[in-house]
Structure 1
Amino acid sequence: MALLQLLILVLCIICHKVDARSHSQQERHQRFSRSQEVDSNINLVSRENEFDCIDIYKQPGLQHPLLKNHKIQLNPTFTRARKQYIQKDFNAGNFIGCPPGKVPIYREKMKHQMNFNSMESQIENFPLYPRELPIERYVTLDTTPNTTYHGAYANVNICAVSPLQKNQYSLGQIYAQGGPPAELNTIQAGWGVSPDLYGDSKTRLTGFWKVQGDQKSAGCFNVLCPGFIQVHQTVGFGTILEPSQTGSTTKLYLNFIIEQDNQLGNWWLTLKGNINIGYWPKDIVPHLGNGASVIRFGGETGSMASVSNPPMGTGYLPEAKYRYACYFARLKILDSQFKEQEVKPDDMKIYRNADPKCYDLLYPGYSGEQHRQAFLYGGPGAPADQCGPL
């Protein structure tokens, strides 16, 4: 009798483990399936005539010489429950997404495609497009502790910038950086306005990566050079982000997350906690392979010396407050243990390489339950010689 009871107990334990494993696999499958859905609260506009659906295994990013044997990571290994604060409705335009096995690549990429015939060449031979404009201005809120970071999180106000000229761009981004200054590795993402990239002044999902070198640098915006791996079937770099209207009491803010996969080391770009756009493989940013040394949040502009420094954010200085100025809210980092932590004012500093009359940043710290740790930033810009030394 005792032996029979023991056998029954063992069978119950085995059945429980199988059922739990099956339930876990089902949950994981459902979670990954949901990650392909565009949340109905996000005002993203994708236009059919602006994107080409490319075989995911033949996408431009895989042409990078360091990714010859790269196995595409279709989903991140992490998952994290996050409460979101995002307004406005989803507008898919006339682009319903790519069929299974294909991903959207912004069509302008084909016009700007560099000549990558020599794929066996070293990474330093890859050109940088078109980031190296003579005048780059920043106002950012940067981490200061000497530690390792594995990601960053913010609700980013999507701002309307007055029409820009060619050879100008304006960005609101999250940055992860690592390595010595001469070899600095950077990945960043957020919103951007650039007539050179997109042919208009609409606010769009924009990313950038760069590996600094003593002689040459590598990297580019979006997917203009090999490197970034796109996995989402509908939302990609170049997607229009419908901005709030200046002075409106209803403002769109979109949750951006740049997060390192704690198992494979790749750096993922995620919107609203579950829209996994794609990732920068750790192989192309070696100084970020074990994490970043600095996280930055804020604004950036670029221009040629022959044109003015363009507006940043809404074009209003932060003293205009939330009704008019652009902002970042609910700032968080992923610490050295991959734990999500709200930023601490004592661990942050403001960086600015422009006259505060051109661009500025105001960080009051805790800004109420809705925004938590938040800051305002932006400015009107000015002629090239009126924003101070770089």
Structure 2
Amino acid sequence: MASSSSFSSSTVTSKFIGFLLLLSSLQLDLSLGSDLHYKNQTSFRPKKEIQNLRRIEEYLKRINKPSIKTIHSPDGDVIECVPSHLQPAFDHPQLRGQKPLDLPEMPSIANETTNEESFNQLWSQSGECCPIGSIPIRRTTKTDVLRARSVRRFGRRLKKPIRRDSSGGGHEHAVVFVNGEQYYGAKASINVWAPRVTDAYEFSLSQIWLISGSFGHDLNTIEAGWQVSPELYGDNYPRFFTYWTQTDAYQATGCYNLLCSGFVQTNNKIAIGAAISPRSSYNGRQFDLGLMIWKDPKHGHWWLELGNGLLVGYWPVFLFSHLRSHASMVQFGGEVVNSRSSGGHTGTQMGSGHFADEGFEKAAYFRNLQVVDWDNNLLPLSNLHVLADHPACYNIRQGKNNVWGTYFYYGGPGRNPRCP
């Protein structure tokens, strides 16, 4: 009995010790494996991050040109006064070594009431300006690019191919448009607001579109207006902006403002991408941004005018395929991105954040809508179409009178009981 009990006890003890040794060995292997995995991760991740930072630094070196003067804006922007011939546009192979063109031939202007003298930008409130022969460019920072998550995304409005009758890729619109003719430009006065944007990767804008090609893979657009875009600018100020896309429906070509080689700026008073001041207020004063885009009959380039006779610059005609000759559609109105990040419709506002039915001093508006014909004449719109992708979220109401010509109110709050 005693010997049998002693044998069993020693056997159990030896087995238990063996189990402990095995467990210890497994733990050691797991620990070594974990260390190796950690070392692999730490050796891999910094390399990837370093490559990304190098790409960003190379991009910033390319886009931030040498300046002759630096101006600090009250809103935190840094404005560089860059010699005109060194601006990003002249990195383009077809523009390299050239200088900005002479003034274009202006369209004939119809009589209209204007309020463009109220337009201003925050950076100019510093009391400083850029010398003649230079242009003001908002400096792009590493933080700006990192917000976009990649150099490829930064400064571009990447979309899936879209149709005119849909809000493709979460983009929603309240617009009026004309089509079916050949258009050589457009003009309007755009009411400026500061709509709330609820998600860092959404935006709210109000603009003029000149469009040609199909709403598939070969769309060309030229766009200008104001926008609130936390991703692009890092804040919620409304900013004067431009955009263009060439031949590929927002897939790879084109960009905002001067963030690639394209738009040629000729003006030393306007910083594209800088904040607008003042803005309209609910039941208060209203402010306009007057814009005209048209095709110069002499050289064929597409010019941009701000306010009453302030030429900003031009898009060279060779940037485009279908827009090389004319636009086939002109569109005016608002656009937002609805990312549905909270599970329902976004609360990002369009225009003033109020529906069109509220009217003047409450809803945002466009007025004095016109198009440019083949003979460089400004004409009122005919055969106007009105479209709101999601009228319970953002709507539009069009009208006409002797003071404002063709006009419309538009916008809305986004998410509400009728727009869940």
- Specify the TM-score bucket, using the shorter chain as the normaliser: 0.7 to 0.9
Q: Does 1:237 align with 2:272?
A: yes
Unaligned runs of 5+ in 1: 1-44, 115-124
Cα distance in 2 for residues equivalent to 1:214 and 1:80: 32
Q: Does 1:310 align with 2:348?
A: yes
Match of 1:64 among 70, 77, 92: 92
Closer/same/farther in 2, CA of residues 233 and 88 from structure 1, 3 Å limit: closer
Q: Does 1:333 align with 2:371?
A: yes
Secondary structure of the equivalent of 2:281?
Answer: coil
- More off after superposition, 61-70 vs 311-320: 61-70
Shift of 1:306: 1.8
Shift of 1:371: 1.2
Q: Does 1:77 align with 2:105?
A: yes
| Residue in 2 that maps onto 1:117 | none
Shift of 1:377: 0.5
Q: Does 1:197 align with 2:232?
A: yes
| Residue in 2 that maps onto 1:273 | 308
Closer/same/farther in 2, CA of residues 282 and 75 from structure 1, 3 Å limit: same
| Residue in 2 that maps onto 1:246 | 281
**Two-structure CA RMSD over aligned residues (Å):** 2.9
Count of aligned pairs between the two proteins: 326
- More off after superposition, 242-251 vs 263-272: 242-251
Cα distance in 1 for residues equivalent to 2:249 and 2:196: 37
What is the TM-score normalised by the length of structure 2?
A: 0.70
Cα distance in 2 for residues equivalent to 1:228 and 1:111: 24
Shift of 1:163: 5.1
Q: Does 1:103 align with 2:138?
A: no
Shift of 1:66: 4.2
8 Å CA contact retained: 2:120, 2:278 = no
Cα distance in 2 for residues equivalent to 1:331 and 1:243: 22
| Residue in 2 that maps onto 1:24 | none
Unaligned runs of 5+ in 2: 1-72, 160-168
Cα distance in 1 for residues equivalent to 2:283 and 2:152: 43
Amino acid at match of 1:169: F
8 Å CA contact retained: 1:229, 1:278 = yes
Cα distance in 2 for residues equivalent to 1:227 and 1:185: 13
Shift of 1:55: 1.6
Closer/same/farther in 2, CA of residues 90 and 185 from structure 1, 3 Å limit: closer
8 Å CA contact retained: 1:108, 1:198 = no
Shift of 1:250: 2.3
Match of 1:176 among 184, 192, 210: 210
8 Å CA contact retained: 1:137, 1:302 = yes
- More off after superposition, 199-208 vs 78-87: 78-87
Identity of aligned residues (%): 28
Closer/same/farther in 2, CA of residues 197 and 215 from structure 1, 3 Å limit: closer
Shift of 1:214: 8.1
Cα distance in 2 for residues equivalent to 1:314 and 1:215: 27
Shift of 1:140: 1.1
Cα distance in 1 for residues equivalent to 2:337 and 2:250: 22
8 Å CA contact retained: 1:47, 1:93 = no
Shift of 1:210: 0.9
Q: Does 1:349 align with 2:385?
A: yes
CA deviations on 1:346-390 (whole Å, 9 max, x unpaired) are x1101232x2111111112x1x3321110010011129x957xxx
8 Å CA contact retained: 2:118, 2:288 = no
Cα distance in 2 for residues equivalent to 1:330 and 1:215: 29
8 Å CA contact retained: 1:53, 1:105 = yes
Cα distance in 2 for residues equivalent to 1:260 and 1:110: 36
Secondary structure of the equivalent of 2:415?
Answer: coil
Q: How does 1:1-390 map to 2 (within 5 A)?
A: 49-68=77-96, 70-78=98-106, 80-81=108-109, 83-86=112-115, 88=118, 92-94=124-126, 96-108=128-140, 112=144, 129-132=155-158, 134-144=169-179, 146-162=180-196, 164-181=198-215, 182-213=217-248, 216-306=251-341, 308=346, 310-344=348-382, 347-353=383-389, 355-364=390-399, 366=400, 368-382=401-415
8 Å CA contact retained: 2:158, 2:250 = no
What is the TM-score normalised by the length of structure 1?
A: 0.76
8 Å CA contact retained: 2:106, 2:296 = yes
